[in-house]
Structure 1
Amino acid sequence: MKKALFSKVAGSLLLSAGLLASGVAAADTTLTFDAAGNATFGMTHATTGSYTDTFLFSVSDALASASGTAVAGKTKIDTARLANYGITDITFFSEVGGVRTNLATTFDADGSISFFPEADLVAGNYGFTVTGNTLLSGKGGSYAGNLNLVSAVPEPTTYAMLGLGLGMLAFTARRKANNKLG
């Protein structure tokens, strides 16, 4: 009985170690934002193959807008610097009670990589996954990026227009109530 239990535990440990060594089971990385709402992210992969990296963050404001950029590293081979990373997609998700739900995300890789969720984010837990692969056989590489999180605050002209509209409504209501003006 003890021998069977030991062999199952040893087998599980070996399987877990193999998954970690292969890069399949990557831990999530939590982003830290500075006072301006910027957070940097990136990853280095030492081996050839596909990858999926997950970055987590929280939104504490009632409404926020997120946008990001990324750049893939180049690898020097002989005298040439060749692109070795292909980022194929970046997708935002929300996380509630440990359940992740993908959000509609715009991903643009024409020239430079930019990405953002198509709707503003409300207070809660979020993240995004970066998927892709190394392009050159036998070579690893890296990528890096920036995520900007900005509170969605109305412009001052919006408040001015609101005040003007309320003033006009008050003037109209007063005018109808006062029979001498009528």
Structure 2
Amino acid sequence: MKKAMFSKVATSLLLSAGLLASGVAAADEVLTFDAAGNATFGVTHATAGSFNDTFLFSVSELATASGTAVTGKTKIDAARLANYGITDITFFSEVGGVRTNLATTFTADGAIEFFPEADLIAGNYGFTVSGNTLLSGKGGSYAGTLNVSPVPEPTTYAMLGLGLGMLAFTARRKANSKLG
């Protein structure tokens, strides 16, 4: 009995240690958007190594998304050095618990920018930030903002065009009646 209990405890501890060492233990974070469609995200990692952090969100109508991120600096020998390297940010859709990667543009030329290449339809989405710390034995942090904006439907543009056309017709009609 004691042997079986010890075996289960040891297996549990080994499994937990493996998850923590691999960096997989981080839970997905659900983003909350303000009235303007902006949400902030960020993570601080206390130890060196690679990371994959996932952020989730939902859209209720056709929308476009874009984000920016910055990495923090770490004080090392009286100098402030960037210790974080974000190597990729990839958007995905989630349907029935299955995640499918979306074509994503990611640039890290000075400023980090990322966005899905296609508009998002109503549903559940997320993005994964991947990278690593550059200096062994040192952690670091990053933060960013994601903006989700609704895309006007084609009928909205048609109604706008029709309204402007009617205003132009009315203005021309009034101008002609004054001349004649």
User: Does TM, scored on the shorter chain, surpass 0.5?
Assistant: yes
Supply the distance in 1 between the matched residues of 2:114 and 2:96 (Cα, whole angstroms). 25
Supply the distance in 1 between the matched residues of 2:56 and 2:130 (Cα, whole angstroms). 15
Stretches of structure 1 that go unaligned for 5 or more consecutive residues are 166-182
Deviations 1:82-126 (CA, angstroms, capped at 9, x unpaired): 010000000000000000000000001011000000000011000
1:3 to partner: Cα distance: 5.3
**Counterpart position of 1:129:** 128
Contact 1:64 1:121 survives alignment (8 Å): yes
TM-score, normalised to structure 2, is 0.82
Moved over 4 A (4+): 2-5, 154-158, 162-165
Supply the distance in 2 between the matched residues of 1:136 and 1:13 (Cα, whole angstroms). 31
Stretches of structure 2 that go unaligned for 5 or more consecutive residues are 166-180
**Counterpart position of 1:87:** 86
1:161 to partner: Cα distance: 2.9
Supply the distance in 2 between the matched residues of 1:103 and 1:39 (Cα, whole angstroms). 20
1:16 to partner: Cα distance: 3.8
**Counterpart position of 1:14:** 13
Provide the secondary structure at the position in 2 that maps to 1:159: helix
Provide the secondary structure at the position in 1 that maps to 2:41: strand
Supply the distance in 1 between the matched residues of 2:90 and 2:14 (Cα, whole angstroms). 29
Count of aligned residue pairs for this structure pair: 164
Percent of paired sites with the same residue: 72
Supply the distance in 1 between the matched residues of 2:74 and 2:46 (Cα, whole angstroms). 12
**Counterpart position of 1:140:** 139
Supply the distance in 2 between the matched residues of 1:9 and 1:151 (Cα, whole angstroms). 51
1:6 to partner: Cα distance: 3.1
TM-score, normalised to structure 1, is 0.81
1:158 to partner: Cα distance: 5.1
When the two chains are superposed, the root-mean-square deviation of aligned CA atoms in Å is: 2.3
**Counterpart position of 1:110:** 109
Q: Which moved more, 1:85-94 or 1:71-80?
A: 71-80
Supply the distance in 2 between the matched residues of 1:30 and 1:3 (Cα, whole angstroms). 42
